[in-house]
Chains A and B, each alone.
Chain A
Amino acid sequence: MMSGQEQTAPVRADEDARRLYAGMTLIRRFEETLLELFAAGKLHGTTHTCIGQEADAIGVISCLEPERDVVVSNHRCHGHYLAFTDDVDGLLREVMGRVGGVCGGKGGSQHLFRGNFYSNGVLGSTVPVAAGMALAEREKGTGAVATVFVGDGTLGQGVVYESLNIASLWELPLLVVVEHNGYAQSTPSRLQLAGDVEARAAAFGVASSRHDTTDVLEVRHAAREAVDHVRSTGRPYFLVLDTYRFSPHSKGDDFRDPDEIAERRQRDPLEVGAGLVSDAERKEIAAAVEQRLADAVEHALAAPVAAAEPVRAGAGQGRA
């Protein structure tokens, strides 16, 4: 059973604006902190930061209810995770391979699970899984929306279209959010993406909209319409958000034109959203975020490294 349009409890406008701005600031500084830790040789493995795309994570996820809605994210998942769970310590320790990491250090940066949040690292593979979760929630009658975040690069994967077909055919409460940052890793859209992005959804009878904005309020307005559509009709929605990633795909692998990056920095969501809070509040938020991250780093570095566990009976033990 669909439970109809349900809204989160109303918050005062100034408190709401402050939350949005603080959320974006936390994501920005978390990601920058990770890159600093990598540069300092304190992180092992890899990371994909979402610096520049914070308005998407905060704008969309502020429309969801973490207690019942489901989010499935991808390799670039830290912003979505923090927006949905606010679990700075669990994520940092996970990326650092320490005890207290949300997945015990086994998942690392791109494989996270907590509550109703899941992420996985193979592009496109997440879309049918999210569709299956949407089906499960529909069958249970929870009224939940399953949201899956993908990028424009993922539109090259056939399984996305198989899943859009199924989501439309079976009327699944699935919201597909395409964060279109213009690049598939290092490859610009003009070399990997033909045709019209929204028309892909239209071909399957899936409602869609596209928004070229880094304004978190505009993103949220668009996401609110999308989420309401899914919740009230039970049908999928395809939300395309044009954005830009200031940071490299991963750590040092950036070959884009610096002028292009500089031009896009004019639309930095933190600058565009600066008016959400006063100067004094901004300083206060920044200080609070710095303190929180500094504490998290200190505690993570002090935590023991993740311990190995035995493999299960009958499985190969690595030597036979």
Chain B
Amino acid sequence: MSVRCGQALNAALHEIFERDERVYLLGEDLLDPYGGAFKISQGLSTRWPDRVLTTPVSEASIFGVTAGLALRGYRPILEIMFGDFVTLGLDQVVNGIAKFRAMFDDRVTVPLVVRTPMGGRRGYGPTHSQSLEKLLVGVPGITVVAPSECHDLGALLSDAVADDEPVFFIENKLMYGRPNRRPENGRVDELSCAETGGRYPALTFSGNGFGRAEATLVTYGGMLPAALDAATRLILEHEVFTEVVALGRLLPLDLEPVLDSLGRTGSLVTVEEGTLTGGVGAEIAARVQAEAWGDLSAPVTRVAARDGIVPSARNLEDDALPGVEDVVAAVTQLERVGG
């Protein structure tokens, strides 16, 4: 019985706190028994009451306070209750946290981690359901990590805290309650799974042992289950094999696993939960066509949320957000050049 993703993150936080007394946690509603709105910080304030600082509802300020701690030798973690609220701290991110190291001539580091959940499908409505990581991917100087439920969540979070760069650690609300499905013997369920090395690895899934396939689906975070379900359905219902790449890190972007997969598939579909325009998929598509034009047999296709709000009502929300059907359709409708 594998642990749930939320439990894995909570256990990792306990280990990180045990290991390094420079680690502090700041955020709203962190204290036990509440333990944070999604309970990921549960138990920490009981064990380390002096290192868990529950804050006023002041995102603009607590981003800055966290930066000040990091600049002066600590390794603080900031929990932002909903990813949507990152906007309140963006000045600190864009004009401070992301810039201090470079503009102070590489003589300071800002080793902080911002943990925050993104994503919809819980009916929280337009201001509590967004996937805003694309805003962060446009900010040079930070690292954006967005693990999926098949990543080693504890290792990634530990690496983020050990990282000298400021790291945004994008979690997903639905992921918290789902099992942390780690590959066993190179497999996750019926699919082969290969993991790149180093920090924030990417995972590549194949339904035919990394033989030739028809498309690569590149995704991250909370969209991995939809991409994997789509891959399975494509095999069962359309006899189409695909590979799925789940990126661990969105910024800086490491395209190698995508290019590697493209060498076996020849076409690319990007899959993300955020809105389409200016999204992560757009950046991947632009870079892939520049680096692997010769490998592409079809235009890159993007699957994303419709540009607009994430409505609250279940049917409206489902309609706005991309799902398994959208991914399947994107693959079956790829327009092969000369095909």
Is B104 in contact with A135, judged by CB distance below 8 angstroms? no
Which stretch (A122-130, A188-196, A226-234) binds chain B? A122-130
List chain A residues, Cβ under 8 A from B95.
Answer: 120-122, 125
Name, among B56, B254, B286, the residue most crowded by chain A CB atoms within 10 Å (CB to CB).
B56
- Does B92 belong to the interface (CB within 8 Å)? yes
CA distance A70 to B103 in the complex (A): 19
CA distance A113 to B110 in the complex (A): 14
**Interface 1/0s, chain B 100-124, versus A by CB < 8 A?**
1011110110000000000000000
Which stretch (A11-19, A136-144, A250-258) binds chain B? A136-144
Q: Smallest CB–CB gap between B205 and chain A, Å?
A: 23
**Interface 1/0s, chain B 58-73, versus A by CB < 8 A?**
1011111111111111
- Does A156 belong to the interface (CB within 8 Å)? no
- Does B15 belong to the interface (CB within 8 Å)? no
Is B66 in contact with A132, judged by CB distance below 8 angstroms? yes
Is B55 in contact with A118, judged by CB distance below 8 angstroms? no
- Does B48 belong to the interface (CB within 8 Å)? no
- Does A159 belong to the interface (CB within 8 Å)? yes
List chain A residues, Cβ under 8 A from B96.
Answer: 120, 122, 125, 129
CA distance A311 to B66 in the complex (A): 26
CA distance A199 to B91 in the complex (A): 27
Q: With A111-B104, A121-B95, A125-B96 given, is the CB distance from A159 to B140 under 8 Å?
A: no
Is B64 in contact with A136, judged by CB distance below 8 angstroms? no
Which stretch (A77-85, A161-169, A284-292) binds chain B? A161-169
Name, among A107, A128, A166, the residue most crowded by chain B CB atoms within 10 Å (CB to CB).
A128
Q: Smallest CB–CB gap between A306 and chain B, Å?
A: 9
- Does B252 belong to the interface (CB within 8 Å)? yes
Is A320 in contact with B72, judged by CB distance below 8 angstroms? no
Of B65, B74, B251, which one neighbours A128 at CB under 8 angstroms? B65
- Does B282 belong to the interface (CB within 8 Å)? no
- Does B287 belong to the interface (CB within 8 Å)? yes
**Interface 1/0s, chain B 152-173, versus A by CB < 8 A?**
0000000000000000000000
Q: With A122-B91, A162-B58 given, is the CB distance from A106 to B290 under 8 Å?
A: no
- Chain B residue nearest to A165 in the complex (CB): B56
- Does B334 belong to the interface (CB within 8 Å)? no
Please provide the 6 A-B residue pairs with the shortest distance between their CB atoms, ordered closest to farther: A132-B68, A128-B64, A314-B252, A136-B72, A162-B61, A113-B104
Interface residues of B (CB under 8 A from A): 24, 53, 55-56, 58, 60-74, 91-92, 95-96, 99-100, 102-105, 107-108, 140, 251-254, 286-287, 290-291
Q: A113-B104, A128-B92 are in contact. List 15 more A-B contacts (CB 8 A).
A: A103-B105, A128-B65, A129-B68, A131-B61, A132-B67, A132-B70, A133-B68, A136-B73, A139-B24, A159-B61, A163-B58, A166-B62, A313-B252, A314-B253, A314-B254
User: What are 13 A-B contacts defined by CB distance under 8 Å?
Assistant: A103-B104, A111-B103, A121-B95, A129-B68, A129-B92, A132-B70, A132-B71, A134-B68, A139-B74, A163-B65, A166-B55, A314-B253, A320-B291
